[in-house]
Amino acid sequence: MADWKNMVDIAAAFRFPGDIFAVKDHFGDGHINSTYLLTMKEEDATLRKYIVQRFNRHAFPRPDLVMDNSTRVTRFLHDKILHDGGDPYRETLHFCTAAEGKPYAVDTEGEYWRAYHFIDDALSLQLINEPGDFYTVAKTFALFNRRLVDFPAETLHETIENFHNTPVRFGRFVKAVQEDKLGRAAGCRREIEFILEREKDCHYLLLRQQRGELPVRVTHNDTKLNNVLLDAETGDGVCVIDLDTVMPGLMAYDFGDSIRFGASTALEDEPDLSKVQLSLELFSAYTEGYMEVLADLLSPAEEQSLIWGAKLMTLEVGMRFLTDYLEGDVYFRIDETRPEHNLERSRTQLKLVQEMETHWAELERIMNRCRLHA
């Protein structure tokens, strides 16, 4: 359970009205930050909920820059949503203000915290059961991208250096293999060889960006299925959450990470690889929704890059999980009862890469069909 006194101090730092009514720790399914659902009881007995998070300083050494990006983007989205006739208090996050007007608080131990208003009557999915849900998620992420298309991407901070620089990720992976600090490499030699064989692929997107073929845009960079909230009653897309990695990037990053996470037939940490497959039906549903919103904005080169984004984001995340496993699980939170949790996560990603390679021609046909029908 969360430390009650600590929650009292955090609630005071953000000037939440009323008294703490309830605290739920380990809220949500994020791997990085510590997340709590805090319910305050106000003087008139109104119960108001807030999401409170403590930053993982290993992952985000500059929380102030993360919050500068997040608040500027959400203010921009607020105005766009109003212009579109939507509800900005439901369709984008609203961060709470702490001392000196800052969107974060620092506790007595130097830990950084942020808070935002909880969005009621909404839910996120961990696994797609109906293709229509994935179509909705695609449209929600694509609308997020579309609304930010005229935001000056170059003004955003790079909150995690080289976050989707796949060649750099590859270099870190090779270093972790060579150092093998915990003697774990021998137990995952097959996975290591699989990644090493695809070194050349790692350069595909960045080479095209450097040639000017792929424009830099504002991207979410962590477009997992569970980072979209759906209306609990209607199933409609409501809001894109988890804005920690909103940075300059490529459309292929956002499209690719969604496919990586959502078009799989199994959870990200499924230990039984026979259950892990790439669903062409789900790929088609997502591509249809994504292109319906963005087809008129994407250049031909960007369209071509999307499938590569799916492959490289999946390979990259597989490398990251395996790198973390080799380094001692210092980045991604693991289930303590599963000492090979990050290795299992890596294996699911590499299985999906293999699936994408096998079905590459079919993925291209689906992309072309969805583009023509958009």
Question: What would the pLDDT profile of 161-183 be if each residue is shown by its tens digit?
Answer: 899 999 999 999 999 999 999 99
pLDDT at 297: 94
pLDDT at 1: 44
| Residue 139 reports pLDDT greater than 70 | yes
* Predicted confidence band of residue 32 (pLDDT cuts 50, 70, 90): low
Confidence of residue 28 (pLDDT cuts 50, 70, 90): low
Mean pLDDT of the chain: 94
The pLDDT assigned to 4 comes to: 60
Q: Which whole number is the average pLDDT over 127-155?
A: 95
Alpha helices in 197-279 (DSSP H): 204-210, 251-262
The class (CATH top level) of 4-120 is alpha beta
- The distance of Cα 176 from the centroid of its chain, to the nearest Å, equals 24
Structure tokens at 87: 């509800």
- pTM as predicted: 0.90
Taking residues 106-132, report their average pLDDT.
92
Instruction: Delimit the domains of the chain by residue range.
Output: 4-120, 123-373
Band the pLDDT of 30: cuts 50, 70, 90: low
Q: What are the tens digits of pLDDT across the range 248-303?
A: 999 999 999 999 999 999 999 999 999 999 999 999 999 999 999 999 999 999 99
Q: What is the pLDDT of residue 64?
A: 96
How sure is the predictor about 332, in pLDDT bands with cuts at 50, 70 and 90? confident
Q: How confident is the model at residue 326 (pLDDT cuts 50, 70, 90)?
A: very high
pLDDT in tens, 36-66: 999 999 999 999 999 999 998 888 899 999 9
Mean pLDDT value across residues 84-109: 94
Does residue 374 carry a pLDDT above 90? no
With bands split at pLDDT 50, 70 and 90, how would you rate the model's confidence at 371? confident
Residue 303, pLDDT score? 94
C-alpha 281, offset from chain centre: 22
Render the burial of 295-306: b for 16+ CB within 10 Å, e for the rest: eeebeeebbbbb
DSSP 8-class letter at 281: H
Rounded CA-CA distance 252/322 in Å is 23
Q: Does domain 123-373 have CATH number 3.90.1200.10?
A: yes
Q: What torsion do the CA atoms of 283, 288, 293, 296 make, to the nearest 10 degrees?
A: 110
Buried/exposed 154-187: b ≥16 CB within 10 Å, e otherwise: eebbebbeebbbbeebbeebbebbeeeeeebbee
Q: How far apart are the first and last CA of the chain?
A: 49
Token pair, residue 318, equals 């597989």
SS (H, E, C) 9-78: HHHHHCCCCCEEEEEECCCCCCCCCEEEEEEEECCCCCEEEEEEEECCCCCCCCHHHHHHHHHHHHHHHH
- Taking the C-alpha atoms of residue 196 and residue 161, their distance in angstroms, rounded to an integer, is 23
Beta strand ranges found along the chain (DSSP E): 19-24, 34-41, 47-54, 105-106, 112-117, 122-123, 217-219, 228-231, 237-240, 247-249
Which tokens hold the place of 281?
Answer: 């039906």
- Residue 57 is predicted with a pLDDT of 85
Tell me what pLDDT residue 128 has: 85
Average pLDDT over residues 193-211: 97
